Structure 1
Amino acid sequence: MSLTDTISSLLKQTLLLMQDTMQCRNDLHFYDNHIRHLTESCLSIFASVYYKEKNNNSHSSIRAIDIGRQFVSLLIQHFRTIKSPAAYADMLHITTDYLNEAVKAATGKSVSHWIRETVVTEAKRQLFHTALNIDEIAWQLGYEDYRYFTRIFKKETGVSPQQFREEYRHTANT
């Protein structure tokens, strides 16, 4: 990690302010707030240097993060009805390949993974907190065929939805 002269100077000034503040503790409320803010400033400086170093100031990295955020926002709104990466790409006016590339660059996981992960997380929530049967949960999550939903759930979790419900409800009641 390399620090420019400007960032080094800014960091040095912040640390000197912190040192000066620590030497005069007259007003403890002011002292605590001031130290906290100066610490946050130092962490922010380090984080920005790390981020720039990691991404090499690459516009494509920033674009990938932006596309990833947009995808997650759409996913949260539509995961019950839209399961196709191509549909999300269409909503973002980009190709499916570019969406997958950007999401993978931003998160390390594919678009399909995030769709399945979101659906399975919601299924787990409903299995644990509701009395809905598997058919009803599958239907609410956009699957007309509960057997297909069950296969997806089992592939992602290693257990069937019914086994998940029995295991975790039993664990919660003991």
Structure 2
Amino acid sequence: MKDILRIETVSEHDAFYHKENLHPLVSIMDFDGRVPEVYASKMNFGFYIVYLKEVICGDMKYGRHTYDYQDRTLVFVAAGQVINVDINTDYKPQGYALLFHPDLIRGTSLGRHIDDYTFFSYQSNEALHLSEKERKIVLDCFDKISYELEHGVDKHSKKLIVDNIELFLNYCVRFYDRQFITRNDLNSDILVQFEKLLNDYYQSDKPQTIGLPSVNYCALQFHLSTNYFGDLIRKETGKTALEYIQLKMIALAKQKILDNKKTINEIAYELGFKYPAHFTRAFKKSTGVTPIEYRSQN
């Protein structure tokens, strides 16, 4: 087993699995027990991949955690990201994959908005679990793309292929919204822990030693990717995680400002600001008044 394997193109990936390549920039892979040339403990791709795993087939670490694939699971891998694989060499993979190169979508609506599909930066333990009906919709999208690939390329092919990829990704947005709702109890618990995390943070010396709490720092405490954590908080509160952190900081700042024993500069440093001017700017942006004006008014 190689330590790391880099596959730059869709064509290389098809060849890796002994599959005929129908288009250099996009492919639908039906694994159907296909065994690759060689397994690698780490894999890095130059294109986007969406895996639809149908059976338990091994462990993949995408980020910091291992996820045991179950049936009807979608995992998204962005171009350039590394996945760590721990798979028995005698297993026969089952399932499907959509592969598309950034060059395919460059200059298209999907290319301009690909970063909006934040689940490409989720970890494997944040995978999308599908119902049977959702699985059929996914396979229908894959079938339409396969149809275009199998019937030759003409002037309509690229638009139809890209449009179907975008349609598929938009369905995934809906499915993830459903998953956030069905896991509401778990998400609410994380929100409560998030509030506690911020309280504990500001009761420690971390603001002075680390600075303002970042979204990435908070996500790490819950062993979540930054994007998944941010999407979860937005679904639960209607605010981004950064906005939530800033509102917490402003509420604490208001309490401190009313303590006339401390200067505005001291309060800024206590909250984690390196420069008091940055604190004044952030406070005024949120409240409409400067910290000094807020103190005099109250």
Q: Same fold (TM over 0.5)?
A: yes
Structure 1 distance, partners of 2:248, 2:260, is 18
Match for residue 164 of structure 1? 294
Match for residue 149 of structure 1? 279
- Alpha-carbon displacement from aligned partner over 1:137-157 (angstroms, at most 9, x marks no partner): 001111120001111101110
Structure 2 distance, partners of 1:105, 1:162, is 35
Question: Runs of at least 4 residues of structure 1 off by over 6 A?
Answer: none
Choose between structure 1 and 2: higher helix proportion: 1
Structure 1's unaligned 5+ residue stretches are 1-54, 169-174
Structure 2 distance, partners of 1:164, 1:125, is 11
Write the mapping of 1:102-141 to structure 2, written as runs, cut at 5 A. 102-141=232-271
1:163 to partner: Cα distance: 0.6
Choose between structure 1 and 2: higher strand proportion: 2
Structure 2 distance, partners of 1:102, 1:70, is 13
Structure 2 distance, partners of 1:162, 1:135, is 11
Match for residue 85 of structure 1? 215
Match for residue 64 of structure 1? 187
SS in 2 for 1:93: coil
Letter in 1 for 2:193: Q
- Alpha-carbon displacement from aligned partner over 1:54-98 (angstroms, at most 9, x marks no partner): x99x43222221221221111111146242000000111001111
1:110 to partner: Cα distance: 1.5
Q: Tell me the TM-score normalised to structure 2 length.
A: 0.36
Letter in 2 for 1:139: Y
- Alpha-carbon displacement from aligned partner over 1:22-41 (angstroms, at most 9, x marks no partner): xxxxxxxxxxxxxxxxxxxx
Q: Tell me the TM-score normalised to structure 1 length.
A: 0.60
SS in 2 for 1:129: coil
Contact 1:138 1:146 in 2 (8 A): yes
Write the mapping of 1:4-23 to structure 2, written as runs, cut at 5 A. none
> Number of aligned pairs?
114
SS in 2 for 1:98: helix
User: What is the percent sequence identity of the aligned residues?
Assistant: 30
Structure 1 distance, partners of 2:271, 2:258, is 15
Contact 1:65 1:103 in 2 (8 A): no
Letter in 1 for 2:246: R
Structure 1 distance, partners of 2:260, 2:244, is 23
Structure 1 distance, partners of 2:189, 2:213, is 21
Letter in 1 for 2:183: S
Structure 2 distance, partners of 1:110, 1:76, is 18
1:126 to partner: Cα distance: 1.1
Letter in 2 for 1:159: V
Match for residue 96 of structure 1? 226
Structure 1 distance, partners of 2:266, 2:239, is 29
